Amino acid sequence: MLDLRFVRENPEKVKENIKKKFQDEKLPLVDEVIDLDQKNRAAITEADGLRADRNRLSKQIGALMGQGKKEEAEAVKKQVSDNAKRLAELEKLEEELQEKITSIMMRIPNIVDDDVPVGRDDSENVELKRFGEPKVPDFEIPYHTEIMENLAGVDMDSARRVAGNGFYYLMGDIARLHSSILSYARDFMIGRGFTYCVPPFMIRSAVAQGVMSFAEMDAMMYKIEGEDLYLIGTSEHSMIGRFIDQIIDEKDLPLTLTSYSPCFRKEKGAHGIEERGVYRIHQFEKQEMIVVCKPEESHEWFWKLLQNTVDFFRTLDIPVRTLECCTGDLADLKVKSVDVEAWSPRQQKYFEVGSCSNLSDAQARRLKIRVNGEKGKYFAHTLNNTVVAPPRMLIAFLENNLRADGSVAIPEALRPYMGGMEEIRKN
């Protein structure tokens, strides 16, 4: 969420940013919120004047009564009563105006960084760099669920009977591989100086509205019926929510945290054939990283977080590339985002396995996460990035480590978590 003063003083810049994101339907919101803000400030000024008058007139009544001027005192009392009625009206008006202003401000997108490429959707995202040499083996690579089934590692039919589409049972060594990747990701991030955390898997609506836009909430979140609770779509939600209404001492920054959680997503809409199996699902697990830092440090932290994910995948012999999200593909709270995509030998193309995002002070402003610094209080900057999110990441892992005989090689970095196993074969 933007600073209202910034919108008031830079309406054209805010409108130009909306145009960059191809959200022209939101352009009228800028003038509307400025008008509401003007009315609200006028109401506040009048109310403050009435409160000052109340104190002055109360003293005047006492003085008049002391002088025996009862009629004059009664006239002043009537004025105080009339002022009280008007003050009540103004206070109600302030509340209504502030509610409308907040609602509109939550819909106006954050100002994207100047170097973000302008584009309508993900088809116009820009490749930044490739890491590792993409390879296509000289044998046919089956679809990922077939690889898993050949290793007795997945049961989609039973999951469909139990929970419906978008769920799965992982079995045997594939289930162990899944857990091993998460354990390795945890230790990888601890080794890079991050504090490990297991957060709540549900959050209140105030937190959900603080970490994402209304559109994202509707598309992603599962609500717990009858309670003010939502299942998290990623641990970033509860990790950032941890600091709601908090004042952080500047000397404690940056806060660098890595978290494990299950994630729950609606995944609305139709998806292509390559998004079947365990690619796009309602339930998965993820290792995440977040940073809360000073505004002047968020740019540097963004690239550090991104490199962590790249390095993690390369230790598992998976080629990846980084892809900068264009303006039209950025969620409203983000100022910059870069996706990490893994190489799929079967498809002979890259596909998304994670995303690194800088949200500047948007989440902090919504959640009132402030920093107490030498020059006063200010809003922190927040960033997040996926370390790894199996089982989707398993697709890249299995395809890149599959052998012609159907076995799967275990990279050296992962072997301690697999009990020393060097490969997975059907038992």
Residue with tokens 């990035």: 385
pLDDT on residue 336: 98
pLDDT on residue 415: 97
CATH of range 4-105; options 3.40.50.1820, 2.40.160.60, 1.10.287.40, 3.40.50.300: 1.10.287.40
C-alpha to C-alpha distance for 140 and 147, rounded to whole angstroms: 11
With H, G, I as helix, E, B as strand and everything else as coil, classify residue 344. Answer: strand
Give CATH 1.10.287.40 domain extents, the chain.
Answer: 4-105
Cβ-count burial 52-77 (b if 16+ within 10 Å, e if not): eeeeebeebbeebeeeeeeeebeebb
Q: Please tell me the CATH superfamily of domain 122-424, with its number.
A: Bira Bifunctional Protein; Domain 2 (3.30.930.10)
C-alpha to C-alpha distance for 271 and 178, rounded to whole angstroms: 24
Give CATH 3.30.930.10 domain extents, the chain.
Answer: 122-424
C-alpha to C-alpha distance for 257 and 186, rounded to whole angstroms: 11
- 177-215: per-residue pLDDT in tens? 999 999 999 999 999 999 999 999 999 999 999 998 877
How far does the chain reach from its first CA to its final CA, in angstroms? 54
**Segments of the chain scoring below 50 in pLDDT:** 270-274
Reading phi first (left if > 0) and then psi (alpha if -120 to 50, else beta), residue 406 is in: left
- 369-421: per-residue pLDDT in tens? 999 999 899 999 999 999 999 888 999 999 999 999 999 999 999 999 999 99
Reading phi first (left if > 0) and then psi (alpha if -120 to 50, else beta), residue 386 is in: beta
Whether the Cβ atoms of residue 233 and residue 389 lie closer than 8 Å to each other? no
Instruction: Work out whether strand 202-203 and strand 408-409 pair parallel, antiparallel, or are unpaired.
Output: unpaired
pLDDT on residue 95: 95
pLDDT on residue 261: 96
DSSP 11-22: HHHHHHHHHHTT
Q: Where are the beta strands (DSSP E) in 194-312?
A: 195-197, 202-203, 222-223, 230-231, 247-249, 255-264, 283-293
Instruction: Work out whether strand 255-264 and strand 423-424 pair parallel, antiparallel, or are unpaired.
Output: unpaired
Average pLDDT, the chain: 93
pLDDT on residue 9: 97
Whether the Cβ atoms of residue 211 and residue 363 lie closer than 8 Å to each other? yes
Tokens of 314: 């390369």
Residues 6+ apart with CB under 8 A from 145: 154, 156, 276, 277, 278
Residue with tokens 């299942």: 231
Residues 6+ apart with CB under 8 A from 159: 167, 168, 169
Residues 6+ apart with CB under 8 A from 268: 219
